């Protein structure tokens, strides 16, 4: 009776997975084999790998490169932040304050940074006040990486914090009792045991960063061209759904590769 009931309750879950995960992926893969005229072909994949000046391969490299930088920046900030949060008295409150910006719409945050980094923004006003003069901050690689890292930061902090917060303090005390100092305890005990949180954080940041397109336009000023930008252009501008779907297939495969590379491996 319980098994039959659990099966009935699992139907909405599998239905959701089929309609909103599997079916869209199958449709994208199917569409990638069609030209803009609706003919079945493999030319889209040929174009992707052999286009003039290797345009799409360069976009792929840019996507991985910028996603890697964003992930590295967020990791370097998030790990000490999460570690420090676990030591605070009201750590759940501080964690909520860090997560709070994720409730704000991404577009609103992007426009807020346009105002901050613009020629008449608060940053340039401060630079003028201290005598450095106005600088071109918006529409640069720095502004894109800064804003993307800021937006992705909570998604790196949260899994690392959860792992560190659940870490058994007796293991740390045992390390000290055996003669290890603070650095050795962190390197040999704390960090290895927190790798699951680091892996989850890397997945949560790197994979979405591969497909960024709104920030590349609003903050990067199209100086940063990624696969997400190319997909948007083919679907909304050139109406070449086949080529856009081909790039999306490559992006999905790249995401799956990242998930495989960062998964937990049991010896």
Residue 37 domain-assigned (yes or no): no
Residue 192 domain-assigned (yes or no): yes
SS3 253: helix
C-alpha to C-alpha distance for 113 and 143, rounded to whole angstroms? 9
Residue 17 domain-assigned (yes or no): no
Of the chain, the percentage scoring pLDDT greater than 90 comes to 49
Residues with Cβ within 8 Å of residue 149, at least 6 apart in sequence: 70, 73, 74, 77
Residue 191 domain-assigned (yes or no): yes
Residue 163 domain-assigned (yes or no): yes
Residue 229 is part of a domain; what is its CATH number? 1.10.3720.10
pLDDT beyond 60 at 61: yes
Residue 140 domain-assigned (yes or no): yes
pLDDT at 116: 92
Domain count, the chain: 1
Residue 128 domain-assigned (yes or no): yes
Residue 51 domain-assigned (yes or no): yes
Q: For the residues 164-180, what does the mean pLDDT come to?
A: 90
Domain range for residue 50?
A: 43-261
Across the chain, mean pLDDT equals 89
67 — pLDDT class (breaks 50, 70, 90): very high
């Amino acid at each position: 009776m319980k098994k039959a009931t659990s099966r009935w309750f699992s139907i909405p879950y599998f239905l959701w997975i089929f309609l909103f995960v599997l079916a869209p992926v199958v449709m994208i893969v199917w569409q990638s084999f069609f030209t803009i005229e609706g003919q079945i072909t493999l030319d889209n994949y040929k174009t992707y790998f052999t286009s003039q000046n290797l345009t799409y391969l360069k976009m792929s490299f840019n996507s991985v490169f910028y996603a890697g930088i964003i992930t590295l920046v967020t990791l370097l900030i998030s790990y000490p932040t999460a570690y420090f949060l676990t030591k605070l008295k009201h750590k759940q409150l501080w964690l909520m304050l860090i997560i709070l910006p994720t409730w704000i719409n991404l577009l609103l945050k992007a426009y807020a940074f346009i105002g901050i980094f613009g020629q008449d923004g608060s940053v340039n006003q401060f630079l003028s006040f201290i005598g450095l003069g106005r600088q071109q901050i918006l529409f640069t690689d720095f502004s894109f990486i800064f804003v993307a890292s800021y937006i992705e930061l909570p998604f790196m902090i949260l899994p690392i914090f959860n792992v560190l917060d659940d870490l058994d303090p007796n293991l740390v005390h045992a390390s000290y009792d055996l003669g290890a100092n603070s650095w050795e305890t962190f390197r040999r005990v704390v960090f290895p045991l927190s790798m699951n949180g680091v892996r989850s954080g890397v997945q949560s940041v790197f994979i979405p960063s591969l497909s960024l397109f709104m920030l590349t336009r609003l903050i990067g000023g199209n100086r940063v061209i990624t696969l997400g930008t190319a997909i948007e252009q083919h679907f909304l501008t050139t109406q070449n759904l086949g080529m856009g779907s081909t790039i999306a297939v490559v992006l999905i495969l790249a995401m799956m590769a990242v998930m495989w590379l960062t998964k937990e491996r049991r010896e």
